[in-house]
Amino acid sequence: MKTKLIVVLGPTAVGKTALGIELAQAYNGEIISGDSQQVYRQLDIGTAKATEEEQSQARHHLIDVRDVTETYSVYDFVKEAQEKIEEITSRGKLPILVGGTGLYLQSLLEGYHLGGQVDQQQVLAYRAELEALSDEDLGKMAEQAGYDSSQTSRRRLIRTLELAQFGKELENKPTPYQALLIALTDDRQALYDRINQRVDRMMEQGLLEEVTWLHQNHPTAQAAMGIGYKEFFPYLDGQISLDEALDKVKQSSRRFAKRQLTWFRNRMKVEWYQVSDPQYKEKIRGAVEEFLHD
């Protein structure tokens, strides 16, 4: 029997954290963060990490599991998330994956449950390289490898190239998860307003102090490349004004939200819920009830 898993995903600032906590409380669940930045200790405000109060309302996993000097990859996430799902279900709890890092979520749920003797980290690293390419470039690579790309989806192109790269060593296994994918969205302007307001709240909470500490101590770390941090570095170096830095953070966050929406729409089969719909939580509860009792 496959392990049932709830996945709450969507763009930044749409309300994933709050919904995840509500579902965890209602259905005896625990939350696994699916965010590439929330793994870092001491980076709390800029990553929109669940607060201590929020974490006290439902148990959270894969938050604060790396120092800012360490790296974190899709391979690390898949391995550790699989371990946490097994641990949570062994205690009779429902695992609830909450996050917006599309590659991480898709890597866990699709195509990475691989057999054979191939190094799994190599496969994941290669997949990350392919995901960064355009559909046109993927098609050209597939044709160069001797495959017809004209009637093939992006997902199949990537899988074809993986097989071409690793050959017989790569063997698919059925996914061990039965997942309900709950995707939150909103009207574009409403979402952008939420993003702008959240950045303003972060500043009130002490974001600039957090960024200054990171800039002074670990400016070249992988963690420092995250949105909400790197945009302030030119300000701290005296190259732009604080207002300009804030505008850059908001702009980068809005663009990131757009990329997230595109990823989830084009690469993952999800059920969308409009958070401006007064009944969206009721609809989600209905979907969860049906899923859990199926």
Residue list, annotated binding site = 10-17
SS3 per residue for 100-163: CCHHHHHHHHCCCCEECCCCHHHHHHHHHHHHCCCHHHHHHHHHHCCCCCCCCCHHHHHHHHHH
Give the Cβ contact number of residue 247 at 10 Å.
15
Phi, psi of 31 (to 5 degrees): -100, 135
Binding positions for substrate: 12-17
Query: CA 66 → CA 71, 221, 275, distances in Å?
Result: 8, 12, 32
Q: Compute CA distances 251 → 72, 131, 228, 234, 244, whole Å.
A: 25, 23, 10, 15, 10
Known binding site for ATP: residues? Answer: 10-17
Contact 260, 11 (CB under 8 A): yes
Instruction: Determine the Cα–Cα distance for residues 43 and 21; give it in Å rounded to an integer.
Output: 21
Phi/psi of residue 105, each to 5°? -65, -45
Q: How far apart are CA 64 and CA 66, in angstroms?
A: 6
189 three-state secondary structure:
helix
C-alpha–C-alpha distance, residues 167 and 160, integer Å: 10
Q: Is 199 within 8 Å of 250 (Cβ atoms)?
A: yes
CB 169 within 8 A of CB 118: yes
